[in-house]
Amino acid sequence: MRVLVVEDEPSLREGISDLLRGDGHTVTAVGDGIAGVETGLAETFDLVVLDLMLPRLDGTEVCRRLRAARPGLPILMLTAMGSEDDKVRGLSEGADDYVTKPFSARELLARVRALGRREPVTESLDEVVVEGATIDLARMVVVRGDQRSTLTPREVGIVRWLYQHQDRVVTRAELLEQVFGQRGDLQTRAVDMAIAVLRKKLELDPAKPQLIISVKGAGYAWRLER
């Protein structure tokens, strides 16, 4: 499986990664919650091993955001506390299972293998073909004819979120929280600038966008007006 490990303690992160690689898995490891959200939205994984207590964004919030965007993605929560409330909190946000620290290598691998045996949910969004362009989210590129543009992880996250919520308008605040991993001040310029750069890569005519539509006073939508 392709496994995303989100753990802030370097020695434990490396230990879990080595353990999973030794069991035949491909591992990507990051050290904070925002990196966990951005990586989880930008790439395709079969499982996330997610620490509850993380810097910048806690594990339950990371779990909630990943679950909203990728409902079939198995998530294994790690908690150092082990109280019933912590377990319930993680499971209520969408975690499929939990392991209480300290845990044995045998227990972790058993739970990873159990989640890996689950019947997969067809929800992967790796490629969008629209308006003569192929948006390859797995490889993070856009191909239109002979032109090829590279996407950043954040741009992939924007495309995923808009496309998977194309039945409605997505606000700037929602993009800021779900893709940028930021809360508090509504940095509308940061979102607008990111969309402007992304349109140059996606649209035939960025001045007259047909894929990412601006909805005045509300936010953005994926071809909602078409």
pLDDT of residue 70: 78
Report the sign of the C-alpha dihedral through residues 125, 180, 224, 133, in that order: negative
Q: Which residues pair with 26 in a beta bridge?
A: 2
Distance (Å, rounded) from C-alpha 18 to C-alpha 39? 19
Domain 127-222 has CATH 3.90.1150.10: no
User: Which fold, 2-116?
Assistant: Rossmann fold (3.40.50)
| Fold agreement between 2-116 and 127-222 | no
Peptide bond before residue 209 is cis, with ω within 30 degrees of 0: no
Q: What are the sequence ranges of the domains in the chain?
A: 2-116, 127-222
pLDDT of residue 173: 86
pLDDT of residue 123: 47
Per-residue pLDDT tens listing for the chain (226 residues): 999 999 999 999 999 999 999 999 999 999 999 999 999 988 889 999 999 999 999 998 999 888 877 777 889 999 876 566 666 666 666 788 888 888 899 999 988 988 876 544 444 567 888 878 899 887 888 998 888 998 887 888 899 899 988 889 999 888 887 787 666 555 567 889 899 999 999 999 999 999 999 998 889 999 854 4
pLDDT of residue 162: 92
* Exposed / middle / buried, residue 5 (Cβ in 10 Å: 0-12, 13-18, 19+): buried
Q: Which amino acid is at 198?
A: L
pLDDT of residue 119: 47
* Exposed / middle / buried, residue 161 (Cβ in 10 Å: 0-12, 13-18, 19+): buried
